[in-house]
Copies of this chain bind each other. A is one copy, B any other.
Amino acid sequence: MITIKEIANMLNVSTTTVSNVIHGKTKEVSPANVERIRKVLDEYDYMPNINARNLASNRSKIIGMVVKVNGKENPFKDQFFGELLGAVEDRVRSRGYNLMVYALNDVRQVQKFILSWNMDGLVTCGFVEGEISYLQERYKKPIVIIDDYDTNDLERCINIRLEDKKAAYEMTKYVIGCGHKKIAFLADNNVNLDHQRFLGYCQAMDEAGLFGSEENFLKICPGNRGEKNNLDELYEKSFAYTAIICSSDYYAAMLLNTFQDRGRKIPDDISITGFDDVEYASLVRPALTTVRQDIQEKGLVAVDMLVKMLEENPKDMETLVVLPTQMVIRDSVKRING
């Protein structure tokens, strides 16, 4: 690999001049030299040594994507994260940055990597308040936080979310409108965005004079490697309901499966709804009635906001983006008599 210095020597010019040509600052260089240097650059297929460049210029052109991993699972098995990552990668690259990916559960490790590499910015997903602010105190560059509700108005931080509460509210209202009264809500926890969705569910239930409380919150265990889901328990509990609002397509599909295997007909015996509208939401049978979010868009917006902060550093930048959702009605909810 040829270096700037070598080219400068070859052509009897200074490294500054070569550097200027490389960076397109051709106004500062005589046309003749521009020509000569460009030719050599091309001929020898010059590639900058990015480590040297980063060291000298004190930036890195690296954007880190850090997703929190709970337990031992591979987060990118989940189509949501896969699609998000792909969108982020695409936009990061087309904006001239490079993407480093980490799936971690320890925020101290995150800190180590981003500081050591002097990353220009960060996209995080799945981390919560305490973790984010820990990072934010030590890392003085922009952070985009995807899908968190507890981190608000932190300096240099941008939040990207959905209308989670509203979406769950609408879905629940739709199910109620189909004649259901005994409706449960299912998630693997009741914090952050799952909590917001639960609140939406509760609101719709309350408005309809039904009973939206924790009593009807069904907690599903994530079922990591080795660890079993609590599907038996959920199966038993499900008999108390005619519909279950799930906080993800993933769990909805799991219920669909389990229940049908044990002989309950869906939606005839019980209705089930999902959230996200990942690809297999329309592949399972019955196809899931669900809430669509545009994951691709989430990733693109995340990077765009980050790069905007990085390159324009606008003073009055909006610090929160709430993306819209959309009901997708398929076949997993039955219209029943009141």
Residues from chain B with Cβ under 8 Å of A50 in the complex: 116-118
Complex Cα spacing A257 to B280, Å: 11
Q: Among residues 77 to 106 in chain A, which have CB atoms less than 8 Å away from a CB atom of chain B?
A: 77-79, 81-83, 85-87, 89-90, 93, 98-104
Complex Cα spacing A280 to B283, Å: 8
Contact of A282 among B52, B54, B79, B257 (CB under 8 A): B257
Q: Among residues 254 to 309 in chain A, which have CB atoms less than 8 Å away from a CB atom of chain B?
A: 254, 256-257, 260, 279-280, 282-285, 296
Does A32 count as interface, using CB distance less than 8 angstroms?
A: no
Contact of A280 among B1, B60, B280 (CB under 8 A): B280
Which range contains the number of A residues in contact with the other chain? 35 or more
In the complex, the answer to whether B89 meets A102 with C-beta atoms within 8 Å is yes
Does A74 count as interface, using CB distance less than 8 angstroms?
A: yes
For residue A177, give the distance in angstroms from its CB to the closest CB of chain B.
Answer: 26
Identity of the chain B residue whose Cβ is nearest the Cβ of A117 in the assembled complex: B50
In the complex, the answer to whether B103 meets A86 with C-beta atoms within 8 Å is yes
In the complex, the answer to whether B280 meets A47 with C-beta atoms within 8 Å is no
For residue A72, give the distance in angstroms from its CB to the closest CB of chain B.
Answer: 9
For residue A126, give the distance in angstroms from its CB to the closest CB of chain B.
Answer: 13
Does A14 count as interface, using CB distance less than 8 angstroms?
A: no
